[in-house]
Chains A and B, each alone.
Chain A
Amino acid sequence: QVQLQESGPGLVKPSETLSLTCTVSGGSVTSGSYYWTWIRQPPGKGLEWIGYISYSGSTNYNPSLKSRVTMSVDTSKNQFSLKLTSVTAADTAVYYCAGPYGTFDFWGQGTLVTVSS
């Protein structure tokens, strides 16, 4: 059974870069034609797909965030990561990593990132 765990700072200052990592256990980040996804949920609101990075390293980002998002995979640590630049208060949300395909069988528990000075 694949398990996912997000990690990273819970507080980021406006205009800075949000950086999160998702550690995959119980499976390999590069196996099985997987697509590893980031999703966010502002407090009290719905879910927003941020984008994915595939097992081969190809990426697909939500056009609404594309100019600020970068995703990467670290095969040595069995992790994948999210960077979101130039954050504002509107980026305050619970961030989830999920996978392994276009529908999400596996989710991390989520991590709240607050953008505030």
Chain B
Amino acid sequence: EIVLTQSPGTLSLSPGERATLSCRASQSVSRNYLAWYQQKPDQAPRLLIYGASSRATGIPDRFSGSGSGTDFTLTISRLEPEDFAVYYCQQCGSSPWTFGQGTKVEIK
């Protein structure tokens, strides 16, 4: 099983700042099948990034994904008020599919 470790656990930033979230895999993610989701309280997660770097439909271009193999990054270039949420990475390159434990981006 691929374990995804996200860091930091919590990121305290101000609107307008840049957010950099990390997701490290315990082994290489096949074909870079790595996705990022955003979850707000009492809502289902929303797909942001798939294939490590492709934005999902309707996702603003301030969200970008990068990385390959075992190290992946989600960057939010300038935080908007609606971006404060929990972010999860997920891999589907190997079974069982797994999620990271999440990074909370909170208002400083």
Interface residues of A (CB under 8 A from B): 37, 46-49, 51-52, 60-64, 96, 98, 101-105, 107-110
Excluding A46-B102, A104-B35, A104-B45, 9 further A-B contacts by CB distance (< 8 Å) are A47-B45, A47-B88, A52-B97, A96-B44, A96-B45, A104-B37, A105-B56, A107-B44, A107-B45
Find out whether the CB atom of A102 lies under 8 angstroms from the CB atom of B97. Answer: yes
> What's the nearest-Cβ distance from chain B to residue A101, in Å?
8
Q: With A104-B45, A105-B56, A107-B44 in contact, do A62 and B96 touch (Cβ < 8 Å)?
A: yes
Interface SS of chain B? loop
> What's the nearest-Cβ distance from chain B to residue A104, in Å?
6
Find out whether the CB atom of A103 lies under 8 angstroms from the CB atom of B99. Answer: no
Contacts of B1 in A (CB 8 A): 63
> What's the nearest-Cβ distance from chain A to residue B62, in Å?
20
Find out whether the CB atom of B95 lies under 8 angstroms from the CB atom of A105. Answer: no
CA distance in complex: A52, B33 (Å): 16
Which of A64, A104, A108, A109 contacts B47 (CB under 8 A)?
A: A104
State the interface size on chain B (CB cutoff 8 A).
23
CA distance in complex: A109, B33 (Å): 24
> What's the nearest-Cβ distance from chain B to residue A54, in Å?
12
Interface string of B77-108 (1 = CB under 8 A from A): 00000000000101010011111111000000
Find out whether the CB atom of A46 lies under 8 angstroms from the CB atom of B88. Answer: yes
Residue of B nearest to A37 (CB): B97
Find out whether the CB atom of B56 lies under 8 angstroms from the CB atom of A48. Answer: no
B63 at the interface (CB under 8 A from A): no
Which residues between 34 and 49 of chain B lie within 8 Å of chain A, taking CB atoms?
Answer: 35, 37, 44-47
Contacts of B97 in A (CB 8 A): 37, 49, 52, 102
CA distance in complex: A63, B98 (Å): 12
